[in-house]
Chains A and B, each alone.
Chain A
Amino acid sequence: MFDTLGDKNSVFAKFQKLAERAKAVEATGRSPFGMRFDDMLSQTRARVGNAEILLAGTNNYMGLTFNPDVMAAAKAAIDAHGTATTGSRLANGTYSDHLDLEDELKDYFNAASAIVCTTGYQANLAAISALAGRGDHLLIDADSHACIYDACRLSDATTIRFRHNSPADLEKRLSRLPVDGARLVVIEGLYSMLGDVAPVAEFVEVAHAHGAMLFVDEAHSVGGYGEKGRGVSQAQGVLDKVDFISGTFSKSFASIGGFCVSRHEALELIRLVSRPYLFTASGSPANVATARAALALIASDSTLAKSLWDRVHQLYTGLVDAGLTPVSPPGPIMAISRPDEHQALAEWNMLMNAGVYVNLAIPPATPQAQSLLRLSLSAAHTEDDINQIIAAFRSLPQAG
């Protein structure tokens, strides 16, 4: 099939090992990285071939993808403004909806500025690469998401990693830096793979004590954490101290898009210089309308977060009873560490056979090269759904 892989001067030659690894994975049954959902039946159910699968790995934390109000908002936006903006924010791609969403984000986070981007990936690239320039230092958590690493590559600043979730290690590194140049510390509120929470309050103290600003990516934590779902920074009482918060509309907000908000009004200036912001088309009217409708619900309907956390505690207890204790304390992301990639893959297939979809996470996408079965919960999961997930895990040969 891939006949050009063998030629050492082919552009594809570098993928030879990868192709072999992918083939070995496929030989075990389905490919966890090439899943096709033939039909979405609800927020939590999909048809895969002839099977109905319970979804337990879709980051659909608030379960709003089929919410009637949210769907109506998306449909109305298409009727009113068409299917796409066909232009960047700076040119013809800013509609009143984009600006209204920015105002609503400012209100929600009590921020002085807000910038809406087309994806969360782009929001991090746009903000981080523009804020940290030549002669500056970026200090990032070692377990940062790929888009934070990519943002650092795009930035002209010098990037230094500190130990995961260690304000003490950050402090050491900050005190080693030369006095000249700006310093930006980047962390996540809730880490996407292991589901552990950052000590944001401690980080903000250390950063500010050393003249650095703190940037927190709350992609996974908006919705499930903090009063009105405003994230881990709010939950730890430091929303007014954190300098920048970024996030995505692709998880709790049931849409596509991203944002960066700041207590500093000057964030607005990056609109004129940030390449990832400038050189891509803006979010479609339906995406923006979806995000706005979801934000209104997340901010006003506390039953969503409550349902999510009820299910979190139910599943956590069930997994512990099954001898499969997640690596982090209870939260909407649960990761179960497996001895190796081979076993994780076999178990992933068994769970699919039992009608449950979770994420398989393997190196290099995981911290410390762990092999993980990763679950993410939704406010739309029912008690029975969680019982089905627990039963599927209990049926694994290695369960206790």
Chain B
Amino acid sequence: MTTDSTEMYNQISGILQAHSKVDIQITPQTLIATDLAIDSVEMFDLVMEIEEQYDISFPLEEASDIDTVQSLVDIIERLINV
């Protein structure tokens, strides 16, 4: 990972931790819905927060593809670079 993407990964982990009700060590393979117990309502707020932070908009089709922490980071990186 480059410094940029490490920094982003750390930021995203922080946001996820803040929205999660369970306290576990987040890894790239952590499943957001099941491992972090983030439901769809919480997920919506979380996505809105990330969108503000990075000045991006998640297409609805992509938002439903998010499962692991890494998949979320990948989508954000792609959206930033378009």
Contacts and interface: CB of A to CB of B under 8 A. Distances in A.
A12 to B, nearest CB: 22
A158 B41 contact: no
B59 A160 contact: yes
Contacts, number: 27
Interface in B29-55: 39-41, 44, 48, 55
A152 B82 CA distance: 22
A75 interface: no
Nearest to A177: B57
Given A142-B44, A163-B48, A176-B55, A369 B60 contact: no
Contacts of A160: 57-60
B56 interface: yes
Contact of A159 (B48, B59, B82): B59
A368 to B, nearest CB: 6
Q: Is the interface of A mostly helix, strand, loop or mixed?
A: mixed
A159 B55 contact: no
Contact of A176 (B40, B57, B60, B61): B57
Given A363-B41, A368-B41, A369-B41, A161 B55 contact: no
A159 B44 contact: no
Nearest to A169: B48
Among the interface residues B48, B56, B59, B82, which one has the most CB atoms of the partner chain A within 10 A?
B59
B56 A176 contact: yes
Interface in A128-171: 142, 149, 152, 158-161, 163
B41 A159 contact: no
Contacts of B59: 158-160
Nearest to A369: B41
A367 B34 CA distance: 22
A158 B55 contact: no
A364 B40 contact: yes
Nearest to B48: A163
Which size bracket describes the interface of A in this complex? 10 to 19
A172 B48 CA distance: 12
Contacts of B41: 363, 368-369
A173 interface: yes
Which size bracket describes the interface of B in this complex? 10 to 19
A167 to B, nearest CB: 15
A161 B60 CA distance: 7
B39 A158 contact: no
A152 B60 contact: yes
A269 B64 CA distance: 32
A176 B56 CA distance: 7
A178 B82 CA distance: 9
Contact of B60 (A159, A173, A363): A159
Among the interface residues A161, A172, A363, A368, which one has the most CB atoms of the partner chain B within 10 A?
A161
A390 to B, nearest CB: 32
A369 B61 CA distance: 21
A176 B52 CA distance: 11
Contacts of B39: 369
Nearest to A178: B82
A133 B52 CA distance: 27
Given A142-B44, A363-B41, A364-B40, A159 B61 contact: yes
A161 B58 CA distance: 8
Nearest to B55: A176
Contacts of B58: 160
Contacts of A173: 57
A1 B40 CA distance: 31
12 contacts: A142-B44, A149-B60, A158-B61, A160-B58, A163-B48, A172-B55, A363-B41, A364-B40, A368-B41, A369-B39, A369-B40, A369-B41
Interface of A: 142, 149, 152, 158-161, 163, 172-173, 176-178, 363-364, 368-369
Given A159-B60, A176-B57, 14 more contacts: A152-B60, A158-B61, A159-B59, A160-B57, A160-B59, A160-B60, A161-B60, A163-B48, A173-B57, A176-B55, A177-B57, A369-B39, A369-B40, A369-B41
Ordered nearest first, which 10 A-B pairs have the shortest CB separation?
A159-B60, A369-B41, A160-B57, A158-B59, A173-B57, A176-B57, A368-B41, A160-B59, A159-B59, A161-B60
